[in-house]
Amino acid sequence: MTAPRKLFVKTYGCQMNVYDSERMTEALGGEGYVATDKADDADMILLNTCHIREKAAEKVYSELGRLRALKDINPDLKIGVAGCVAQAEGEEIMRRAPLVDLVVGPQSYHRLPAMDRAVRAGERALDTDFPLDDKFDTLTDRPKARRAPAAFLTVQEGCDKFCAFCVVPYTRGAEVSRPADRVLREARDLVEAGVVEITLLGQNVNAYHGHDGGLAGLIRDLAKIDGLERIRFTTSHPNDMDDALIAAHGDCEKLMPYLHLPVQSGSDRMLKAMNRKHTAEQYLKLVERIRAARPDLLLSSDFIVGFPGETDADFEATMDLIRAVEFGQAYSFKYSTRPGTPAAEKPQLPEGVMAERLARLQALLTQQQHAIQDGMVGRTVKVLFEKPGRIAGQMIGKSDYLHAVHAVAPAAAVGQVLPVRITSAGPNSLGGELIA
């Protein structure tokens, strides 16, 4: 009997890449691969890359340089680059890194089995097409093996917004939504495998149109699945937050009270330069409507500091918006150029100015986050326990509000949603007591 080949996948970036890495592993399972968590033990190494952050491509080449030693030891080792850097720079990767055997874009990874056969025959394989065939139709059904209690499920890909700072429309393509029946089937399979919480993923997930009722309609149908106790979604665009989705936050019990709603800036001048197509006032009014539907909702957002042309007044407008909203969580970054995007051609702000603004913004966001976490002490929340903690007898999970929570609980608590009274708040997690 032939021993299985071992596949090591290193995942960079967003939750969608986590989902894609799982599907790549499943696709190559049919070629005789099994997953390994050790690169030096692998027959194939895949780097599933992200192009959002600064110097993403150079980080990939640095990683490839480190992998060269493994290929020197094992000449039969196959190395592949997948994801958004592969999409953006596929031919350059093949030219610049001869040790790479295959390069595959995020819309073509269903073709990995054929590419694997090609590289095993001594060829190099490159596929960064936006193929007409639906990769989700081609991929095999999800394995029924027991899974962790929380899972990601991609329902939408691509973006038509063309924000001036973003490469997603170029690396992931136009907005495409998976048909609702296929999403529901995959969700049922996940629940059968032990999943009780599903996070719906999309570059612009609330633009989902694979259901007659949009994302809200899909969520309501998912809520009918026995055994599925929690639903989340990310990442959203303010312009696609429709009435039905706002209403779902108020009356769909399984939809968790957490919403990631990126705004990027509080300055209308900057929002226009970013091509966001909404104003700060429109964002604030939207937040009011959502909180009217779900008063306890925890809001998260994204912020870019130092976008080309940002003045002190523009930055202060962002600080004012943060004070007005009070975010429970946020992701904030200094602007960094993405080649090929409109903003990359504009004069850049001095590094020192961006660093000082980012430090001030993050201090305010941290203050808000800690205040909200401190306010959880004494409250009872429902926690989905996911794994044991580092301390004996301690279990770790996520609250309704996506806070990490640790509490003493039996091992059998994994996969269960249980009530926990919060007794302490730390900088990154909450402590609690299980309520019998």
pLDDT in tens, 246-275: 999 999 999 999 999 999 999 999 999 999
90: helix, strand or coil = helix
- CA-CA distance, 401 to 67, in Å (whole number)? 39
Place of tokens 């608590």: 413
- CA-CA distance, 210 to 333, in Å (whole number)? 33
- CA-CA distance, 169 to 176, in Å (whole number)? 11
Q: What is the mean pLDDT of the chain?
A: 92
Judged against a pLDDT cut of 60, whether residue 1 lies above it is answered with no
258 and 398 in contact (C-beta within 8 Å)? Answer: no
Place of tokens 């973003």: 166
User: Which whole-number Å values give the CA distances from 343 to 77, 186, 273, 309, 312, in the listed order?
Assistant: 40, 39, 8, 10, 19
Which residue from 70, 58, 142, 141 is spatially nearest to 101, judged by alpha carbons? 70
Helix 243-251 and helix 214-222, axial crossing angle in degrees, nearest 10: 30
Tell me which amino acid residue 300 is. S
SS3 content of the chain, % helix, strand, coil (to 5): 40, 25, 40
Task: Tell me which architecture the domain covering 380-434 has in CATH.
Answer: Beta Barrel (2.40)
Judged against a pLDDT cut of 90, whether residue 147 lies above it is answered with no
**Matching CATH number, 5-127, of 3.20.20.210, 3.40.50.12160, 3.40.50.2000, 2.20.25.90:** 3.40.50.12160
Residue 163 known to bind ligand: yes
364 and 322 in contact (C-beta within 8 Å)? Answer: yes
Which residue from 307, 305, 259, 306 is spatially nearest to 283, judged by alpha carbons? 259
For the record, the structure tokens of 137 come out as: 């139709």
User: Can you give the residue ranges of every domain in the chain?
Assistant: 5-127, 141-256, 380-434
267 and 314 in contact (C-beta within 8 Å)? Answer: yes
Global confidence as pTM: 0.85
In terms of Cβ atoms closer than 10 Å to its own Cβ (0-12, 13-18, 19+), residue 72 is exposed
Give the percent of the chain with pLDDT over 90.
Answer: 77
For the record, the structure tokens of 389 come out as: 């903690």
Residue 252 known to bind ligand: no
Within 10 A of 268 (CB to CB), how many other CB atoms are there? 16
Judged against a pLDDT cut of 80, whether residue 67 lies above it is answered with yes
Which residue from 343, 424, 417, 427 is spatially nearest to 379, judged by alpha carbons? 424
For the segment 151-175, the average pLDDT, to the nearest whole number, is: 90
Judged against a pLDDT cut of 90, whether residue 404 lies above it is answered with yes
79 and 115 in contact (C-beta within 8 Å)? Answer: no
**DSSP state for residue 149 in the 8-state scheme:** S
Within 10 A of 48 (CB to CB), how many other CB atoms are there? 24
Which alpha helices (H) appear in 130-264, and where do they start and end? 135-138, 168-171, 180-192, 214-222, 243-251
246 and 287 in contact (C-beta within 8 Å)? Answer: no
**Residues 6 or more apart in contact with residue 350 via CB below 8 angstroms:** none
Judged against a pLDDT cut of 80, whether residue 156 lies above it is answered with yes
**Residues 6 or more apart in contact with residue 345 via CB below 8 angstroms:** none
Is the bond preceding 235 in cis, omega lying within 30 degrees of 0? yes
Residue 159 known to bind ligand: yes
Instruction: Return the pLDDT at 7.
Output: 96
- CA-CA distance, 78 to 14, in Å (whole number)? 25
Is the bond preceding 423 in cis, omega lying within 30 degrees of 0? no
What torsion do the CA atoms of 340, 345, 351, 354 make, to the nearest 10 degrees?
-90
- CA-CA distance, 267 to 307, in Å (whole number)? 11
- CA-CA distance, 247 to 310, in Å (whole number)? 36
Q: What is the DSSP string of 21-60?
A: HHHHHHHHHTTTEEE-S-GGG-SEEEEEE--SSTTHHHHH
Which CATH class name applies to 141-256? alpha beta
Instruction: Return the pLDDT at 132.
Output: 54
Instruction: Return the pLDDT at 109.
Output: 85
- CA-CA distance, 60 to 346, in Å (whole number)? 26
pLDDT of 349-402, one tens digit each? Answer: 999 999 999 999 999 999 999 999 999 999 999 999 999 998 999 999 999 999
Instruction: Return the pLDDT at 195.
Output: 97
Instruction: Return the pLDDT at 131.
Output: 62
Which residue from 343, 356, 177 is spatially nearest to 264, judged by alpha carbons? 343
